[in-house]
Chains A and B, each alone.
Chain A
Amino acid sequence: MKTCPDYIVQYMNDYLDGDLEPSEERVLKENLVTCQDCQQIYHELTKTVAFVQSASQIEAPRGFVEATMRKLPKQNQRSGAQR
């Protein structure tokens, strides 16, 4: 059961965006020390971020550049080329 004000979750989000005022940060930290539910939410949010960031960087398939270049319209058909 959550009894803390809604702005606490907002503070968590702002904190994760590096967007929280120092005075608000103090409020958030005090809250996290005393409220287990909020602690849980905060923990899940940071876990979520770490999870999404764990996605590996993927690369375009081989031959992508050549395939893309082949699809370009021929130069003389392109509008705006000659000015």
Chain B
Amino acid sequence: MDALVNKRIAQVIKGDQNAFAEIVELYQHRLYQICYRMLGNKHEAEDIAQEAFMRAYVNIHTFDQNRKFSTWLYRIATNLCIDRIRKKKPDYYLDAEVRGAEGLNMYSSIANDDELPEDELVKMEIQERVQYEISRLPEKYRAAIVLKYIEELPLAEISEILDLPLGTVKTRIHRGREALRKQLSNL
């Protein structure tokens, strides 16, 4: 697939815009899924996935063809998603660490305040519930969990996409998994 993608990229750089359609075709579903799982909203997911492809197109000449195109593309998309999530919340106090709660900040406290009543949770379809629980995770854990368990990417690739050391990715997955475990304790 990479050889084909690089061929299309070369055509795009030469000015053949139509060659980009095939790239969009190849990656549309996975990119859309990442955005949807991160944002939990179909319209926003579509919007951000399109924006990601648009940025990839405009900056295609900066892509190093010795690397994996999907890694580069997913990085553009996850960055856009994280920006979007941050913009949706007032951020003047959210980054402050909560005393006595290592690794937790106001984001996670807010997420917990959002909790639905037990009977509402029971009524939810399983698919809805998965998305609901993912969307309650702080965004930095959310990205790692989505890439690991929904996209099933290797840790090394997740580390490249999120531009984080491998150790940090592992920590985020551990914490994300632990947060989910607590959220799901009534399941």
Interface residues of A (CB under 8 A from B): 9-10, 13, 16-17, 19, 41, 44-45, 47-49, 51-61, 64-65, 67-69, 71-73, 75, 78-83
Contact = CB atoms under 8 A, between A and B. Distances in A.
B131 A13 contact: no
28 contacts: A9-B178, A10-B174, A13-B174, A44-B185, A45-B177, A45-B178, A45-B181, A47-B181, A47-B184, A48-B180, A51-B133, A51-B187, A53-B149, A55-B37, A55-B131, A55-B150, A60-B29, A60-B31, A60-B46, A61-B46, A64-B24, A64-B28, A64-B32, A64-B49, A65-B21, A72-B53, A80-B61, A83-B61
Interface in B9-56: 13, 15, 17, 20-21, 24-25, 28-29, 31-33, 36-37, 42, 46, 49-50, 53-54
Contacts, number: 118
A71 B32 contact: no
A72 B54 contact: yes
B130 interface: yes
A82 B61 CA distance: 10
Contacts of B66: none
Nearest to B57: A72
Nearest to B149: A52
Contact of A65 (B24, B174, B184): B24
Contacts of B181: 41, 44-45, 47-48
B1 interface: no
A54 B126 contact: yes
Interface residues of B, number: 45
B32 A58 contact: yes
Interface string B93-134: 000000000000000000000000000000000110011011
B58 A52 contact: no
Given A64-B49, A71-B54, 8 more contacts: A52-B133, A52-B145, A64-B28, A64-B50, A65-B21, A68-B24, A69-B21, A72-B54
Contact of B187 (A47, A56, A60): A47
Contacts of B53: 68, 72
A68 B173 contact: no
B29 A72 contact: no
